[in-house]
Amino acid sequence: MPTTAEILRATNPWWVDGSLTDDPHLKRFDASPVRWDPPALTVMPLTFGDTHTLRGPRQVGKTTTLKRLIRQLVQRGETRVLYHAFDLTTDAREFVDIIRQAKTLHPAPEGPWYLFLDEVAAVPDWQVGVKVAWDSGLTADDAIVLTASSAHDLKRGSERLPGRRGNGRDYVQLPMSFRDFCHVAYNLRFPDEPLAVEEFLTPRGQKIATRLMAFATELQCAFDAYVRVGGFPVAVRDHRQRAHDGVAPATIEKLWNIVAGDVAKTHRNQLAALKLLQTVGASLGSPLSWLTAARGMGVEKPDTAKQYAELLAETFVLLTVYFWDPQKRSLEPNKQRKVYWSDPIIGQMPAVLIPGTARPSADGLVEGVVASGLFRSAAQTLIQANAVPGTVGYWRSGTDREIDFMIPRVTDLERERLPVEVKGDNTTGLAGARAAILRTYREGLVLSRTVFDWRSDIATLPVWLLLAGVSEQPLRSEALA
C-alpha cells in the first residue's frame, strides 16, 4: 500500500514539473463532448486567508472543477498548490498531518498555499482538523476550498469554524441549468447576459425576451430534451452520444446507485427512498402529504417519510418549496410543503428501476424543471431540509386559490416576493392566472408552453424562454465569520 508521501507526490505532480497532463479528471474533461463551465468555476475568488466550501451532488463534476482551478493556478506559475481527496480518511488528525507533510515535501514550501481538500465530510469531525490546522498557524494564510456531497455535513462543519474562514463563502455546484444545457448539448449561444427573474418585467427584460423568441424552435426542441435528460454531465454526454435520444437506462441506474449509497450510509432503506421519488412524481405541483408519502414508501410513520425527504434534500436529490405567508412575510415549515426533484433525471429513476411504474405527467415534469430553475436563479439557499429566509415558497389562499411559486427578489430585496404561476397555453387558464396574480400581488409572471405576451405588470412567457434567459447564483449564503 503506498505511503501518504507517495500518494501526495503522485496526485500533485506540478510541485516538480508544473504539469497536469496525466491527470485523469482533466484528460476526461478535455476529451469529452460535454465541455461545461459551472458558475463556481468563474466566480469563486481564491484569496489567501479565505476558506470556501463547494457543495453539490455526486457525479456533478466538483472534483473536475477543483482540477480546472488548479490548472489555472499552475499555468500562471503557482506550485504551492495541494489537492487531496479525503474519501478514504477516517481520522480528523490525519487532516493536519497530510497538510503538514505536503508542505514538508514541496521543494519550495515557504509562503501561502492553495489547498483543495476534496470530500472532507467523509472524515468524522473533519472541522476539528480544519480548526487545529488554522489555530496552529499551519493554514491561516492559505486559500482553502473544501468540498462535500452533503449540504448538512459541510454546512454544519463550516458553522463550527467561527473566525477561521476569513471572507470565505459557501458555493453550490448543481447539474447544469437549462441555459447551459442549450450551450453544451445543442450549441445554442444567446446574444445577451442572463437576468434575474424579476428583471423580465423591465423594458430591458422585454428586449431580451423578444430576442430570445427568435430561438423559439430551437429552444422548444432543447427544452423537450432537458425535461427527459436533465443536467448531470454523464446524462448529457449519454444524450449526445445516443444522437439526442435521451439517456440510457444503465446511466440512470448508475446515478441511482450513487443516491442509494448515500441512503445506505445513514442506515435507511434504499427501496423506501426510491419509492419516495416515485411518490414525489405522483404529487408534482401539489403539497406532499407525509401520510401519503409514508404509505407509498411502505413505512409506518409519516415522520419517517419526512426524515427521508430531508435526507434526500440534504444530498441534493430533492428540493423543497415551503408555504409563504404574506401577512407574516415568512415561510411556514409546519404547513404542507411541495417537493420536487432537483434534476429531471432523478424523476426517471423509479420508472427504470421499478417495473410497471408510470412516468410522471408532462405538466408535472415541466413544473419541476421550473422549480429547479427558480431556485437556481432566486434562492439564497438552494436545497435545504429546513425553511430559511431566501428559500422559494408557494402560496395558497383560504379558498384554495394557489400560486405555484413565490420567489425572493434578487435585485430589490426590500420588496414583496414575486409570484410565478405555471400554466399551459389555454387562453382561459392564462387569463385566470393573470387575474389571480393581479388581484393579490399586482405584478408577476405567468409561464406558458408557447405563448408570449409581455406586459410590465404581469408578463406571460414561454417556460423555455424564461429558463434560457435567467441567471444562476452559485453563491448560496453569506460569509460565515
∠ CA 379-383-388, nearest 5°, is 65
For 196-254, the pLDDT digits (tens) are 999 999 999 999 999 999 999 999 999 999 999 999 999 999 999 888 888 999 999 99
The mean pLDDT of 4-13, rounded to a whole number, is: 90
Question: What are the CA-CA distances from residue 264 to residues 91, 92, 106, 312, 466 (Å)?
Answer: 21, 23, 39, 12, 38
pLDDT at res. 389: 54
Percent over 70 (pLDDT), the chain? 92
pLDDT at res. 479: 31
Quote the distance between the C-alpha of residue 352 and its chain's center. Answer: 23
Q: Return the bridge partners of 115, or none.
A: 82, 144
For 134-166, the pLDDT digits (tens) are 888 888 899 999 988 776 565 555 555 655 677
pLDDT at res. 478: 36
pLDDT tops 50 at residue 383: no
Question: What are the CA-CA distances from residue 330 to residues 197, 250, 282, 442 (Å)?
Answer: 20, 43, 28, 19
The mean pLDDT of 338-363, rounded to a whole number, is: 89
For 160-200, the pLDDT digits (tens) are 565 567 788 888 888 999 999 999 999 999 988 899 999 99
Q: Return the bridge partners of 143, or none.
A: 114
Residue 315 · residue 322 · CB < 8 Å: no
For 396-429, the pLDDT digits (tens) are 887 778 899 999 888 776 778 999 999 999 999 9
For 308-325, the pLDDT digits (tens) are 998 898 888 998 899 999
Dihedral, 228, 230, 233, 237 alpha carbons, nearest 10: 20
pLDDT tops 50 at residue 110: yes
Handedness of CA 275, 277, 279, 282 (dihedral sign): negative
* DSSP code string of 357-413: PPPPPHHHHHHHHHHHHHHHHH-SS-S-SS--TT--EEEE-TT--EEEEEE--SS-T
Please report, for the chain, the start and end positions of each structural domain, with discontinuous segments joined by +: 4-172, 178-477
Which is more confidently placed, 294 or 383?
294
pLDDT at res. 465: 97
Question: What are the CA-CA distances from residue 393 to residues 315, 331, 446 (Å)?
Answer: 20, 7, 16
Q: Which residue reads 409581455 in cell numbers? A: 454
pLDDT at res. 386: 56
Instruction: Tally Cβ neighbours within 10 Å of residue 205.
Output: 23
Q: Can you name the CATH fold of 4-172?
A: Rossmann fold (3.40.50)
pLDDT tops 60 at residue 385: no
Say how far apart CA 98 and CA 293 lie, in whole Å: 45
pLDDT tops 80 at residue 296: yes
pLDDT at res. 369: 95
